[in-house]
Structures are given as structure tokens and as C-alpha cells.
Amino acid sequence: MEATTRIMSKIVQVRAPATSANLGPGFDCLGLALGLYLDITVTEQEGTGLEIVARGEGRGQVPLDQNNAVYKGLVRACAEVGRAPRRIALEIASDIPLASGLGSSSAALVAGLAAGAALCGETPDREDLLRWGVAMEGHPDNVAPCVMGGIVIAALDGGEVISARIDPPAALVAVVAVPCFAVRTSKARRVLSERIARADAVYNLGRVGLLVAGFMQGDYSLLQTGMRDRLHQPERAALVPGMPEVLAAAEEAGALGAALSGAGPTLLALVAGEPEPVAAAMAAAWAGCGIAARTMILDMAEAGVQVKGHGC
């Protein structure tokens, strides 16, 4: 009788949220998770090889080989437990615009890390995911809220990531306006000065405190001042035409505060009342500058990355 070989497979599904980093004055340290998601399904079988299918945002742009951010995260997590992935089939479905300042690369990386841990039979530990993700990205302000959900302030102390999470206020929503052009983070980094004035550092320090206090105490009167920045937005404005006009339009329409999201070009406004007028005002302001933009009204995501299901 001819012998047959049973090929075992493991399937893991993971969801990771978009994030807005550099929140207001919180350059490289403060971010929030948003209700916009990247979903992946990973199937591991015996053998070797890699097959990637990408749908949604980024289709035709994300790498479909070993340079894919999801796959890199998966490989890193497997390496942490002492093994390499076997044959991988990876399906990616993302609603997060690429190179937009909404943490698409961090969502991909964190989803891969969580999937890799799950494939290896580990329950993904959030401290491990945070440490691995920051080691790969170099800064915590996207990775931390993607892992933990909510609003997260994080700092690097030597090789350790120190973080604190704030529950997202239920009354607040985020309006994001995404223009029809992209800004690569590497380019946005290059425009920043190596030195900053003491007055600008003090300006941001005070406003980070006000912003965090406003979130924690539910005192939304602090948010407009608390969302101001002098460390990166003034220099990055050259990469985001119309930014001053759109931010001003958001606040005039009722936003509690508005700022550049991540490295841009997306602009984000926090709203406690009706968000539709704010979204319309932001789109109109950009149209007035000759730039098409789409707007989205998003809840703040309570949960970070989630392993939704796995099995054999």
C-alpha cells in the first residue's frame, strides 16, 4: 500500500490598527491608535518558500518578497524563539493608506511580529512585541499604540522601552484628511534640523503636559493649546502644501485641536461634537489650495494588535 504524507498547516489571523504618531507636541514619544486596520492571514506549511498577496491600500506598491514588512516581523518573532518560518502564504488586506502618516509600516511590522509569535505557539506578549518592534523601527511612537491601543506615551531608556497607556476618551473622534500625495518618512526626517532652540523645547514640553492632562482629566479645553508644536511641524510644512490653511479650517469648524499626523501628509483633528463639518472644512481648505484630499472619521482604537484566530 502506498504511503501518504500528511502535510500539517498552521493558520493565524491578525488585526493591527493604524496610528497617529508625533501627536501634537509629542514628537517621537506620543501616539494614538485609530479605528482603521490592516488584517493578515498567515498559513505556514512544511517546506520552504514565500507567497504574498496584497489587497486594498498599497496593492501594487508593497513588496511581495522577503522585504515585506509583515514578513520581516514574522521572521523576527520566530527568531526570538529559536526557529525559522517554514513555507509561508501571506494574505494582506489593508485599509491604511501608505506613506500617509497613519502608521502603515508599523501596523505591518507589528502584525507580523504577533503572527510569528502565534505560529511558534506563543501567546504574543505585548512587552515583547513592543521591544521587538521598537528595536526594528528605532522609535516607539507608532509601535507603542499599535501594540497597546489607546493613547500611549513612550520613551527609550537605554535599551528599555518605558511606556504608559491612557484610555482613549469615548467622547472624542479623529477626523483625518489624507491628501492625494505621499511623504516618505525618510524624506520627512531629512528636513529636520539637528539642533533646536531652548525656547522651542520648553514650548513643546509644556504642551505635552497639557495634552496628556487634557486626555486624562477629560478637560478638552486644554487640547487646542496642547496640540501645538514647534519641533517638527514648521519644518515639515514645506512638504505638505496647504497645511496651515487646513489646520486653521479644522479649528474654525469646531475641532478641539489639529496637527500633522506622524510625518505627514495626513492632517488629524480631534473632535468632541459633530465631526462632519470639520471633515468638510478640511477637504474644502485643501481644495482651495488646489489639492484633492479624502477625509475619514475614525474612532480611537481601544485595542491594539489582536490575534483573531489560529489553528491547524
Architecture of domain 173-299: 2-Layer Sandwich (3.30)
| 246-263 residue pLDDT tens | 999 999 999 999 999 998
DSSP-derived letter for residue 300 is B
Residue 4, pLDDT score: 41
CATH class of this structure's domain 9-167+301-311: alpha beta
Mean pLDDT of all residues in 306-312: 72
Given pLDDT bands bounded at 50, 70 and 90, which one contains residue 3? very low
Cell of 278: 470639520
| 252-305 residue pLDDT tens | 999 999 999 998 899 999 999 999 999 999 999 999 999 999 999 999 999 999
Residue 1, pLDDT score: 35
Residue 67, pLDDT score: 96
Q: Are 311 and 9 in contact (CB under 8 A)?
A: no
| 210-222 residue pLDDT tens | 999 999 999 999 9
Residue 311, pLDDT score: 54
Cell of 233: 511641524
Does the structure show a pLDDT above 70 at 114? yes
Provide long-range contacts, Cβ within 8 A and 24+ apart, for 244-252. Answer: 245/285, 245/286, 245/288, 245/289, 246/177, 246/282, 246/285, 246/286, 246/289, 246/293, 248/285, 249/281, 249/282, 249/284, 249/285, 250/175, 250/177, 250/278, 250/281, 250/282, 250/285, 251/224, 252/281
Domain layout of the chain by residue ranges:
9-167+301-311, 173-299
Does the structure show a pLDDT above 90 at 144? yes
| 21-45 residue pLDDT tens | 999 999 999 999 999 999 999 999 9
Given pLDDT bands bounded at 50, 70 and 90, which one contains residue 77? very high
For residue 218, what are the CA distances in angstroms to 130, 166, 170, 206, 276?
A: 27, 11, 10, 18, 22
In this structure, the strands spanning 257-260 and 267-271 are: antiparallel
Alpha helices in the chain (DSSP H): 69-80, 104-119, 126-137, 143-148, 185-190, 198-217, 223-226, 233-236, 243-252, 276-288
Cell of 117: 509569535
Q: Is the pTM of this model over 0.85?
A: yes
Which residue has better confidence, 67 or 125? 67
